[in-house]
Amino acid sequence: MTIKKPLQLLTLFLFFTNFHFTAQNLTERIDNVENSLSPLVSIEGESLWNLQERMRQYKTPGLSITVIKDYKIDWTKSYGQISNDYKNKVTNETAFQAGSISKFVNALAIMKLCEQNNIELDSDINSHLTSWKFPYKNSSDKITLRQILSHTGGLSMSGFSGYKKAENLPTTIEILEGNGPANSEKVISIIPANQEFKYSGGGTTISQLILTDNANVTYENFISNYIFTPLKIENSFYSIQEEKYTKNISSGHTRKGKPLKNNYNFYPESAAAGLWTTTSDLANILIDFQLSLNDNEGKILSKESAVEMIKPVLNNSNSGLGVFLEKQGENIYLQHSAATRGFRGKFFVSAKGGNGVVILTNGTSIKILEEIIRSVAITYNWDGFKIFERNLDITYEKSDLIQYVGTYGLNKRKIQVKLKKGKLILSEKGKWSSKLTPIDDSKFVIDIVKPRATIQFKNDENGAVSRCILNQGGLTEWKKEI
């Protein structure tokens, strides 16, 4: 924990107490959320931000928010325009592309199929595939649905770019083979299964084929019959047939806020990226999942299936089945982000207590999503949720930062710390790169990594930096290479 001056602690206490005290009225809660957006690392005395000002800052034309409280929707509110080309306002019934949040709904569907005894999580995927078989390199290889849903199957194709028109779209098998009109590469094994996390929309697409091979209905109909209909979901759909799209849907925008010429792309990779939904529809699905986790009162899954979904498949992993875990104190929060061409979104909900928030936007900013989540967490005083604060007693010069530069290893993995323009950059070659924001002596937040993570550098007996500790729900120690 960051050690702060007594005055700083008092200020922080009053800050949280004030929000907890004033946010009893619904109108006040909404107002607090709209005016409490904050950076990843806050600085005492700095003003919080207004939602609509941040929408303009990030060139986000429209968005919708639904807040969950005590296993119920507390409120839904929408802001801005469906498109910058015309002034139709976003309403609570406006559907947005939900991108990779589709993977969570897909995991629900796969678990439902498991409950019907049609498939098994730990069987070889080829035992469930009838219209196509995965081409293993070796006869002894095996990939399971559990690994696919947790991105531990070692498969290629992290994501898909979509198609600008609805005509001549590839079939699921053409996508998996990288053939015909498919604009993506063949889905293949990159690393052995069950070895490490490797995000794969390609793997998710295999699960889509498994569902249709075993359910004897279309993917869209299965989702409708077993998820949407039981929860009376009316404004959500999976479809690549444009004539089935509702009239009240948003258009995607570029990072400069300009509408896409084709309004939105089409994603025949339904399980990985094809969901259109509203924040309230998605919130109702999440609430049902939360109820299944805690009281066995969900309409979609049994408690046993829901609990199975939030178990990390690998040690020191944050990936469950179709959902990512983030530990805040003793509390577990569940999340998934969304990104398609012109759209961004995210849900962040508690595993216990029935709290959470869903945000969908027709812009490309990721930062605004995180700022809104922090604002909701502050306003509703979520258990265990901490806001990173900068210790103002700590200052860094270039000479201070250069000691952290180097390569750090853990088993076969390596991360690099570099110094660029006075800022520390942490990266894992070919995978990700992030700025480090200081919060205390030798301790930094890894800006872009989700779930939230910190890194703290440690010295040996001679005072030289010899290792670092990464904290992302669990602690891992990385040794500095000489």
Higher pLDDT, 117 or 73: 73
Lowest mean pLDDT segment, chosen from 6-20, 64-78, 313-327, 447-461: 6-20
Distance CA 362, CA 344 (A): 7
Domain boundaries, the chain: 1-58+375-393, 96-364, 398-480
Locate all alpha helices (DSSP H) within 192-325, ordered by sequence.
201-215, 219-223, 270-273, 279-294, 303-309
pLDDT at 14: 36
pLDDT at 11: 37
Strand blocks (E) in 384-464 = 388-389, 406-410, 413-420, 423-428, 432-440, 443-446, 454-459
Based on C-alpha coordinates, what's the Rg of the chain? 23
pLDDT band at residue 45, thresholds of 50, 70 and 90? low
Q: Is the pLDDT of residue 121 over 90?
A: yes
Q: Does residue 257 contact residue 251 with C-beta atoms inside 8 Å?
A: no
Report in angstroms the alpha-carbon separations of 216 from 110, 131, 329.
14, 12, 44
DSSP label at residue 318: -
Average of per-residue pLDDT across 25-39: 95
pLDDT band at residue 306, thresholds of 50, 70 and 90? very high
Q: Output the DSSP codes for 223-251.
A: HIIIIITTTT--S-EE-S-GGGS-SSBPP
Distance CA 321, CA 301 (A): 13
DSSP label at residue 21: H
pLDDT band at residue 120, thresholds of 50, 70 and 90? very high
pLDDT band at residue 156, thresholds of 50, 70 and 90? very high
Average model confidence (pLDDT) for the chain?
90
pLDDT band at residue 23, thresholds of 50, 70 and 90? low
Q: Is the pLDDT of residue 37 over 80?
A: yes
H or E element in which residue 103 lies: helix 102-115
Pick from 16-20, 28-32, 468-472 the range whose average pLDDT is largest: 28-32
pLDDT band at residue 208, thresholds of 50, 70 and 90? very high
Name which of 359, 191, 300 is nearest 200 in CA terms.
191
Q: Is the pLDDT of residue 451 over 60?
A: yes
Average of per-residue pLDDT across 231-258: 91
Q: What is the largest CA-CA distance in the chain?
A: 70
Distance CA 122, CA 389 (A): 43
Distance CA 479, CA 139 (A): 37
Neighbour tally for 404: CB within 10 Å: 21
Two tokens, residue 394: 């700590």
**Residue 62: half-sphere exposure toward Cβ, Cα within 13 Å:** 31
Two tokens, residue 126: 């080829």
Phi/psi-derived region of residue 365, left when phi > 0, alpha when psi is between -120 and 50, beta in every other case: beta
Two tokens, residue 271: 């399980």
In this structure, which CATH number among 1.10.10.10, 2.60.40.420, 3.40.50.1700, 2.40.128.50 belongs to the domain 398-480? 2.40.128.50
Strand blocks (E) in 1-61 = 41-42
Average of per-residue pLDDT across 372-400: 86
State the CATH class of domain 96-364: alpha beta
Distance CA 129, CA 121 (A): 13
Lowest mean pLDDT segment, chosen from 64-73, 105-114, 178-187, 397-406: 397-406
pLDDT at 145: 97
